[in-house]
């Protein structure tokens, strides 16, 4: 699968997101959720951000969706053809950005009030946008059809829907304003295996039929493999490796990527996954305590002196394939 061509829809340059975590008795800790991330999503492209818990991938998704202001760095959206910083927008322009950047949340059970009727879940956002009457009804029926939910469900309460149906409703709500981008944060992680494929197929059709770019956040490399055209690996707030899907799985270069692949039971059949000797560590570092040099060196079985002292830049080692590793 080759990345979709064309110009960027949204671009991040050296984006950092730092939080201060409070403590009653001790000193407040600085959490470096994102620590200098540069990446882009092209028009009509499907991109996956993969990594372990605490890698910063959800924070990255929130930055792209306009929900988390960066501490520093540049975020540039080209939704209407000209560059705009979404965090400088106010009033109507900011609302327009949110309509162009839909969000699909991980937990379909908490994303929507279970005591609401399905029709109201879709009607109220339209009402706030000044869309009502026949036009609202038309949009509601269109998105219900798009996510393969029959109109009979419009009279149901949300609690009457299954997990898969709720996630379809979450996607339907995100599509109400014909967005140019969907940010899907672990959209299938809480669903049964039988439903995962259905939701991924739905997101694929949203991309192919509507031309909507999709940024998927996931810890499941198997999901990224079947869905994404381009994959970025995040570790403690930094991109470790970035490549198109075919290159990523046929030629993984970063030891962290190789470790993730080796730990994925659904990808054991890939012959390209090298055997990675595990390095015993007393404590896995966190975004509140990032090691000097390469932040992966404490877990890397191939680390040498330079890795401990100097942080490797993310550099292109092959066309479209970037790696942050002194071994490459």
In this predicted structure, which of 16-30, 36-50, 86-100, 139-153 has the lowest mean pLDDT? 16-30
Helix (H, G, I), strand (E, B) or coil at 138: helix
Which pLDDT score is estimated for 271?
54
How many DSSP H helices and E strands does the chain contain? 10, 11
What distances in angstroms separate CA 259 from CA 181, 254, 297, one per listed residue?
A: 31, 9, 13
**Residues 6 or more apart whose Cβ sits within 8 Å of residue 275:** 262
Cβ contact 187:207 at 8 Å: no
Examine the pLDDT at 65 and tell me if it is beyond 80: yes
Cβ contact 86:97 at 8 Å: yes
- The helix, strand and coil proportions of the chain, stated in percent and rounded to the nearest 5, come to 35, 25, 40
Which pLDDT score is estimated for 2?
40
In a domain, 18, yes or no: yes
CA 79 to chain centre: 18
In angstroms, the CA 230 to CA 212 distance is: 15
Angle of CA points 226, 232, 237, to nearest 5°:
135
The reported pTM is 0.92
Taking only Cα atoms into account, the Rg of the chain, rounded to an integer number of angstroms, comes to 21
How is residue 207 written in tokens?
A: 């991309």
What is the number of domains present in the chain? Answer: 1
CA 306 to chain centre: 32
In a domain, 328, yes or no: no
Do β-strands 72-77 and 315-318 pair in parallel, antiparallel, or remain unpaired?
unpaired
- What residues pair up with 75 in beta bridges, in sequence order? 12
Which pLDDT score is estimated for 4?
44
- What residues pair up with 39 in beta bridges, in sequence order? 12
Residue 49's domain spans which residues?
Answer: 8-323
Task: Tell which residue, 161, 168, 229, has the closest CA to residue 199.
Answer: 168
In a domain, 154, yes or no: yes
In angstroms, the CA 295 to CA 20 distance is: 20
In a domain, 48, yes or no: yes
What distances in angstroms separate CA 138 from CA 1, 129, 144, 171, one per listed residue?
A: 35, 15, 10, 17
Dihedral sign for Cα 256, 189, 11, 204, please: positive
pLDDT digits over 237-293, tens only? Answer: 999 999 999 999 999 999 999 999 888 877 766 656 666 666 766 678 899 999 999
- pLDDT mean over 70-76: 97
How is residue 31 written in tokens?
A: 């959490």
In a domain, 231, yes or no: yes
CATH number of domain containing 236? 3.40.50.300
In a domain, 287, yes or no: yes
In this predicted structure, which of 60-74, 185-199, 229-243 has the lowest mean pLDDT? 185-199
How is residue 74 written in tokens?
A: 């540049």
Angle of CA points 278, 54, 60, to nearest 5°:
125
Cβ contact 309:292 at 8 Å: yes
In angstroms, the CA 238 to CA 55 distance is: 8
- pLDDT mean over 208-234: 96
In a domain, 2, yes or no: no
In a domain, 1, yes or no: no
């Amino acid at each position: 699968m080759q990345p979709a061509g064309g110009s960027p829809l949204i671009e991040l340059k050296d984006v950092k997101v730092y939080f201060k975590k409070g403590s009653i008795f001790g000193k407040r800790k600085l959490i470096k959720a994102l620590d200098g991330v540069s990446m882009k999503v092209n028009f009509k492209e499907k991109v996956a951000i993969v990594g372990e818990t605490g890698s910063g991938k959800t924070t990255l998704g929130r930055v792209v969706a306009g929900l988390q202001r960066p501490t520093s760095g540049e975020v540039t959206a080209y939704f209407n053809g000209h560059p705009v910083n979404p965090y400088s927008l106010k009033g109507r322009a900011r609302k327009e950005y949110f309509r162009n950047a839909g969000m699909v949340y991980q937990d379909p059970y908490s994303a929507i009030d279970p005591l609401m009727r399905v029709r109201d879940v879709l009607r109220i956002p339209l009402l706030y946008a000044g869309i009502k009457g026949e036009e609202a009804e038309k949009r509601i029926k269109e998105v219900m059809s798009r996510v393969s939910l029959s109109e009979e469900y419009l009279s149901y309460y949300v609690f009457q829907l299954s997990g898969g149906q709720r996630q379809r409703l979450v996607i339907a709500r995100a599509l109400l304003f014909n967005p140019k981008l969907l940010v899907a944060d672990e959209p299938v992680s809480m669903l049964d295996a039988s439903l995962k494929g259905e939701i991924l197929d739905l997101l694929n059709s949203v991309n192919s039929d509507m031309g909507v770019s999709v940024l998927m956040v996931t810890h499941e490399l198997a999901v990224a493999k079947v869905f994404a055209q381009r994959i970025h690996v995040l570790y403690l707030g930094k991109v470790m490796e970035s490549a198109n899907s075919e290159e990523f799985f046929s030629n993984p270069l970063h030891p962290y990527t190789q470790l993730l692949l080796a730990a994925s039971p659904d990808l054991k059949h890939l012959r390209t996954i090298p055997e990675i000797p595990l390095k015993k560590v007393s404590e896995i570092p966190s975004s509140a305590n990032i090691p000097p040099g390469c932040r992966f060196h404490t877990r890397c079985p191939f680390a040498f002196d330079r890795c401990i002292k100097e942080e490797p830049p993310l550099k292109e080692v092959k066309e479209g394939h970037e790696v942050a590793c002194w071994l490459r």
